[in-house]
């Protein structure tokens, strides 16, 4: 599998350099700890939002650093969370007079790293708390109804809402509480047409026939809950909407936000065709769609696939916060 | 080749519906003529910019419709230009008191369509003129030095600069003259790691070995000028920069803008790694890089590949116009 890389072990470093080349006017890059940060750190809101995780999910998370969203993204190696020392170094860049909210995707290795850093930095006198995003509602396998609850594409909506609320002066406890409510109303399901090819791993990706799709895949090459022959965008949309309907048990007229996320190698044409099928299904269900975002926001290297996130909008402010303009590379 | 589509003949329509679902607050969609337009048409600048072309190049061009860039994008079928009637319908939406600049990519079929519409509409009393973007400087084959001069990714920079100048009150003749100077300083070269798979065509795409790259490819599946074994991002960067150097014959300290464009199925990680190699080569050459953009701007369906565009900045205003904020879906 050809990849436009040099030494694979230097890929994250090369990538972050390249990103800094594009945005050096507004973004800083700490090479030692692979941290992308807003340059005007001293002008930040009272609560500083820090996220991050393994690389290979671009533009997440560094593309969401900027006014109105994240203040920093701490970048691990490909599909590996950042080390606690990297996260601690990010926290150390923040004035002790401010407080810090960590936004963590629900993978054990990510939680271990972020919470280890949180514990150390609290001891050193920083005010730190966290939320854990667990929007993935795909099931473990056909015979189990255990949800996986990984943190996937919906995380970007959490960045957006909390980033806007932080601008509005929300305190750390308020942001944590808001994050937890939003996350409880946020569900995502993904489907793959091809696996991700991880250049840093010798492991074989999952197998998928030329005519098959795999429902419920993860963002690190994890397999899904069911393989099926691929028919059309509409059939994918129906499967994902039906699963989400059974979770939300929505009623006509309820307000939702929609995120259609390309998983890395899906052209925008296909993402928009799928979004159009979601539009039609939402109309049939009588849902009141208040916000829509389509694009490759949180990816899995070169996986061909798509995910659908829905957020039940419980508070009209959520819609306003989603719509507010921001100054980041990747939230348009 | 699985594609997230329904009926392939309805794909463009489905896609534009999906796009309109996302941006219906600011974007209108004429279903009959596949035109995406700014909703506040009556508030437009004195010169209205219209572009478009075949579909399959998303987000070009509809992603660049909005304040500060295009007023309308007219969308053909996959890799087919819009018909003259579609373009005429777009022009007809504009108040006769304004004038119109068509931005056309240099393909004979595109030129035929756009100029036919221009001729008809001039007769009907509209003020219309055009520029033709021909930034592609790949050579025909190894044994010829004839440049192809197709209109490719650099077109997006033309949209951006002319869109900003139109906001600043440039007249139609001024915009045409500005466009022609910018285009003369704008060169692009592309390389493919895999061909595009066009679902609307029975033609076999070009063949490429598992370990090969193809320099000088086009955006409609056209083959390039040389196949080579793939080594690394850096080797691609050196090949493209050397070709561009021989054209520009630049001197140390000269000012350039850089556009690194993913051709559809290349993850952002690889685009940024390549951008970092370009950064290093620009430093070695002593070029003064004033503007950088990285991302999938003008694609070729699911082609895996990348293009490099350079624009020699002859006037400091060009830099300002490139940097000015816009309200479009896809220029961030």
pLDDT tens-place string over residues B57-86 = 999 999 999 999 999 999 999 999 999 999
Q: Which residue of B has its CA nearest to A194?
A: B2
Question: What is the pLDDT at residue B203?
Answer: 87
pLDDT above 70 (res A184): yes
pLDDT above 80 (res B124): yes
Which residues in chain A have Cβ-Cβ distances shorter than 8 Å to B16? 272
Q: Determine the average pLDDT of the residues in A43-66.
A: 95
Is B58's CB within 8 Å of A332's CB?
no
Is B272's CB within 8 Å of A14's CB?
yes
pLDDT above 90 (res A136): yes
Nearest by CB to B306, which of A4, A15, A56?
A4
Which residues in chain B have Cβ-Cβ distances shorter than 8 Å to A2? 193-194, 210-211, 213, 230, 304
Count Cβ atoms below 10 Å from residue B288 Cβ, excluding itself.
Answer: 12
Distance from CA of B193 to the nearest CA of A (A): 7
Q: How confident is the model at residue A177 (pLDDT cuts 50, 70, 90)?
A: very high
Question: What is the pLDDT at residue A231?
Answer: 96
Is A267's CB within 8 Å of B267's CB?
no
Question: What is the pLDDT at residue A203?
Answer: 87
Q: Which of B38, B68, B24 is nearest to B332 (CA)?
A: B68
Q: Which residue of B has its CA nearest to A209?
A: B2
Which residues in chain A have Cβ-Cβ distances shorter than 8 Å to B31? none
Question: What is the pLDDT at residue A24?
Answer: 94
Distance from CA of A319 to the nearest CA of B (A): 14
A144 versus B191: the higher-pLDDT residue is: B191
Distance from CA of B248 to the nearest CA of A (A): 22
Average model confidence (pLDDT) across chain B:
95
Q: Which of A188, A216, A158 is nearest to A309 (CA)?
A: A188
pLDDT above 90 (res A305): yes
ipTM: 0.97
Give CA–CA dist B332/B323, Å, rounded.
Answer: 10
Which residues in chain B have Cβ-Cβ distances shorter than 8 Å to A301? 267, 269
Question: What is the pLDDT at residue B40?
Answer: 83
User: Which domains does chain B show, CATH number per domain?
Assistant: 12-184 (3.40.50.10440), 188-323 (3.30.1180.20)
Would residue A220 show up in a list of annotated catalytic residues for this protein?
A: yes
Whole-structure pTM value: 0.97
pLDDT digits (tens, 9 = 90+) for A262-291: 999 999 999 999 999 999 999 999 999 999
Q: How confident is the model at residue A141 (pLDDT cuts 50, 70, 90)?
A: low
Number of cross-chain residue pairs from A and B with Cβ atoms under 8 Å apart: 181
Q: How confident is the model at residue B141 (pLDDT cuts 50, 70, 90)?
A: low
Question: What is the pLDDT at residue B143?
Answer: 64
Is B269's CB within 8 Å of A211's CB?
no
Catalytic annotation, pick one of A57, A61, A159, A187:
A57
Question: What is the pLDDT at residue A44?
Answer: 79
Phi, psi of B50 (to 5 degrees): -125, 130
Is B6's CB within 8 Å of A329's CB?
no
pLDDT above 70 (res B54): yes
pLDDT above 90 (res B286): yes
Is A5's CB within 8 Å of B279's CB?
no
Give CA–CA dist B102/B51, Å, rounded.
Answer: 6
Neighbouring residues of A229: CB distance < 8 A, sequence distance ≥ 6? A211, A212, A213
């Amino acid at each position: 599998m050809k990849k436009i890389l040099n030494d694979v072990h230097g890929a994250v470093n090369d990538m972050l350099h390249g990103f800094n080349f594009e945005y050096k006017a507004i973004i800083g890059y700490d090479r030692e700890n692979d941290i992308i940060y807003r340059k005007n750190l001293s002008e930040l809101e009272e609560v500083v939002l820090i996220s991050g995780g393994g690389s290979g999910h671009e533009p997440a998370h560094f593309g969401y650093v900027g006014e109105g969203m994240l203040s920093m993204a701490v970048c691990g190696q490909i599909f590996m969370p950042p080390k606690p020392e990297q996260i601690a170094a990010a926290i150390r860049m923040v004035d002790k007079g401010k407080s810090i909210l960590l936004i963590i995707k629900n993978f054990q290795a990510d939680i271990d790293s972020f919470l280890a850093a949180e514990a150390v930095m609290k001891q050193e006198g920083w005010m730190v708390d966290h939320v854990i995003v667990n929007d993935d509602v795909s099931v473990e396998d056909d015979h189990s109804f255990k949800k996986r609850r990984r943190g996937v594409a919906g995380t970007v909506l959490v960045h957006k809402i909390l980033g806007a609320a932080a601008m509005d002066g929300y305190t750390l406890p308020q942001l944590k509480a808001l994050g937890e409510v939003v996350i409880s109303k946020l569900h995502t399901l993904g489907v793959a047409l091809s696996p991700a090819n991880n250049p840093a791993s010798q492991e074989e990706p999952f197998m998928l026939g030329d005519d098959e799709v795999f429902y419920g895949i993860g963002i690190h090459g994890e397999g899904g809950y069911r393989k099926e022959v691929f028919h059309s965008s509409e059939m994918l949309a129906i499967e994902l909407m039906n699963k989400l309907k059974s979770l939300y048990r929505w009623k006509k007229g309820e307000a939702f936000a929609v995120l259609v996320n390309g998983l890395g190698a899906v052209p925008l044409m296909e993402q928009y065709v799928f979004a159009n099928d979601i539009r039609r299904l939402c109309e049939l269900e009588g849902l009141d769609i208040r916000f829509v975002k389509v694009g490759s926001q949180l990816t899995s290297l070169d996986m061909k696939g798509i995910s659908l996130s829905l957020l039940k909008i419980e508070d009209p402010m959520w819609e306003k916060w989603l719509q507010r303009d921001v100054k980041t590379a990747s939230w348009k």
